[in-house]
């Protein structure tokens, strides 16, 4: 028993301590890491996102789970910027990456390098969730949508420069109404396309008045048709918010008529196709010209009808007014009546005044009237003769008085003084020379005698010398009679000696 027991213990000891190498914890963790990475280098894992967290460093951390297991996952910052959408809790995705271990926590994890939604159903669920979120914020409200300009001068287009979309838009604009188009080239699908589209929308809105590039009056965000994955950039939240922030009216024209993206709800107007967006943007020039011409014609006809109506109204009013001739005829009739009454009144007034004068005369000379009435034999002819002789006597008396005054005036005339040997000296301008001191050398004088005038020039001092003698008689002189004068008949008018 003892030997067997001792032997048994030794065997047990030798069995529990085999000749195995010893490993440290780090060595075991490294070995496990190599084993996992060698057997599961790149894998595609399908699962539901849970516990999503975006660190400030730019890395993303979350878990992929199904109904029986959970795998920790991480997306490094370099790969996170390349994802076409932002992961959210509850979203079923397919992740492509490398399986590795995290030694500090003795866990294995999936380093995700690419991610996509797990099928159309998941994308539609994500799109619906985003739509509800933005709708709750009021981005789809009709009251915030802006009216489109009727005739934009500059149109900004955000699309790919190499696709058929821009050619269709330009062709349609050229056919309808040629306009200036500014193209902002962007990617319309793939990684980073949503950021370029949002930057283009904000860039157009950032253009100011002082910019070398004019600010568009209207924006068109366009892309051709495709699958939901191809159009997913226009379902990104960053693009939808850029459209909502746009101060420039915006038309979304993404995909075909049956395709619907998130920016269709946020934009001011949705077009079923890019070509339809160009039709919405501008009117047809030919139709506009025809409409303008029709309005011009209607305006002319309306103006003619208005003038005709006003003319009829004026003629009707004129018929109710009295003409100028009628008004003047009435005034002329009143004037004639007034003139006739005035004439009769003057005659009546004259008769009344004549009668009054007769009555007054009768009262002033009652004796004469009595003599005429009572004399019997005296006639009015005797009275007229006495009146004539009295008037003739008065006339003779005044004539004799006038004759005496005329003789006195003639005797006092300055011309009678000149006949007695005196002379009158005057300047040529008519002023009378009263003394020798009133003359200066060179003055031209006229000396008047009773029989004519002599022109002289003063030559120094108070002495006068007749330099040139010109006789200017009052009456007409005979030819070559310079020194001879014609006697002047004395004037009966009283003149002044000076």
Return the bridge partners of 73, or none: 62, 110
The 3-class SS string of 113-133 reads: EEEEECCHHHHHHHHHHHHHH
pLDDT of residue 481 exceeding 60, the answer is: no
Query: pLDDT per residue over 223-270, tens digit each?
Result: 988 877 788 889 899 999 999 999 999 999 998 887 888 999 999 999
CATH architecture entry for 151-287: 3-Layer(aba) Sandwich (3.40)
Q: How many Å apart are CA 308 and CA 28, to the nearest integer?
A: 110
Question: In the chain, where does the domain assigned CATH 2.40.50.140 lie?
Answer: 25-118
Q: Secondary structure of the chain: what % helix, strand, coil (to 5)?
A: 50, 20, 35
Tens-digit pLDDT profile for residues 85-97: 778 887 888 899 9
Q: Which comes out higher in pLDDT, residue 140 or 383? A: 140
Q: How far apart are CA 251 and CA 31, in angstroms?
A: 59
CA 419 to chain centre: 95
Bridging pattern class, strands 180-185 and 218-223: unpaired
CATH of segment(s) 25-118: 2.40.50.140
What residues contact 127, with CB distance under 8 A and at least 6 apart?
A: 228, 235, 262
pLDDT at 80 over 80: yes
Q: Where are the beta strands (DSSP E) in 216-288?
A: 218-223, 250-254, 269-270
Neighbouring CB atoms inside 10 A of 397's CB total 10
Q: How confident is the model at residue 41 (pLDDT cuts 50, 70, 90)?
A: confident
pLDDT (0 to 100) of residue 130: 87
pLDDT tens-digit series, residues 95-135: 999 888 877 777 888 899 988 887 656 677 778 888 899 99
Looking at residue 382, its pLDDT comes to 76
Residue 64's DSSP bridge partners are 49, 71
Mean pLDDT, range 352-360, rounded to an integer: 85
Q: Which two tokens stand for residue 170?
A: 């330009």
Residues of the chain with CATH 3.40.50.261: 151-287
For 36, the token pair is 């996992």
Residue 259's contacts (CB-CB under 8 Å, 6 or more residues apart) are 225, 226, 231
Instruction: Report pLDDT for 436.
Output: 81
The C-alpha R_g of the chain, in whole angstroms, comes to: 69
User: Residue 155 burial (CB < 10 Å; 0-12/13-18/19+)?
Assistant: buried
- In which band, very low, low, confident or very high, does the pLDDT at 7 lie, cut at 50, 70 and 90? very low
**Is pLDDT of 271 > 90?**
yes
């Amino acid at each position: 028993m003892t030997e067997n027991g001792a032997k048994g213990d030794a065997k047990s000891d030798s069995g529990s301590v085999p000749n195995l190498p010893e490993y440290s914890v780090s060595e075991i963790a490294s070995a496990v890491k190599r084993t996992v990475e060698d057997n599961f280098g790149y894998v595609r894992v399908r699962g539901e996102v849970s516990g999503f967290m975006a660190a400030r460093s730019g890395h993303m951390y979350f878990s992929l789970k199904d109904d029986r297991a959970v795998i920790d996952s991480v997306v490094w910052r370099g790969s996170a910027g390349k994802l076409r959408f932002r992961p959210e809790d509850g979203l079923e995705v397919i992740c492509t990456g490398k399986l590795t271990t995290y030694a500090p926590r003795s866990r294995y994890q999936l380093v995700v390098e690419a991610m996509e939604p797990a099928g159309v159903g998941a994308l539609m669920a994500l799109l619906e969730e985003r739509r509800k979120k933005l709708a709750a914020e009021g981005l789809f409200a009709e009251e915030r949508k802006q009216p489109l300009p009727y005739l934009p001068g500059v149109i900004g287009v955000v699309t790919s420069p190499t696709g058929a979309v821009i050619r269709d838009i330009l062709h349609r604009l050229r056919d309808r109404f040629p306009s200036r188009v500014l193209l902002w080239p962007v990617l319309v699908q793939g990684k980073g396309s949503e950021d370029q589209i949002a930057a283009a929308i904000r860039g157009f809105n950032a253009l100011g008045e002082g910019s070398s590039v004019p600010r568009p009056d209207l924006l068109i965000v366009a892309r051709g048709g495709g699958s939901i994955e191809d159009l997913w950039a226009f379902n990104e939240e960053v693009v939808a918010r850029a459209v909502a922030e746009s101060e420039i009216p915006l038309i979304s024209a993404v995909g075909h008529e049956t395709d619907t993206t998130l920016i269709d709800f946020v934009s001011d107007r949705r077009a079923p196709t890019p070509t339809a967006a160009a039709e919405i943007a501008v009117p047809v020039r030919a139709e506009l010209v025809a409409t303008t011409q029709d309005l011009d014609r209607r305006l002319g006809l309306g103006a003619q009808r208005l003038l005709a109506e006003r003319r009829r109204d004026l003629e009707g009013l004129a018929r109710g007014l009295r003409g100028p001739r009628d008004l003047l005829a009435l005034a002329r009739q009143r004037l004639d009546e007034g003139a006739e009454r005035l004439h009769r009144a003057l005659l009546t007034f004259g008769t009344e005044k004549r009668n009054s004068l007769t009555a007054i005369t009768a009262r002033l000379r009652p004796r004469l009237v009595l003599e005429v009435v009572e004399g019997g034999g005296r006639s009015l002819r005797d009275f007229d003769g006495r009146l004539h002789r009295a008037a003739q006597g008065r006339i003779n008396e005044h004539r004799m008085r006038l004759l005496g005054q005329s003789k006195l005036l003639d005797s006092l005339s300055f011309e009678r003084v000149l006949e007695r040997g005196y002379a009158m000296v005057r300047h040529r301008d008519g002023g009378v020379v009263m003394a020798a001191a009133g003359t200066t050398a060179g003055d031209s004088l006229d000396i008047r005698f009773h029989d004519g005038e002599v022109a002289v020039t003063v030559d120094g001092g108070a002495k006068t010398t007749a330099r040139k003698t010109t006789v200017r008689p009052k009456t007409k002189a005979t030819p070559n009679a310079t020194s001879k004068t014609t006697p002047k008949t004395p004037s009966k008018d009283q003149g002044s000696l000076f």
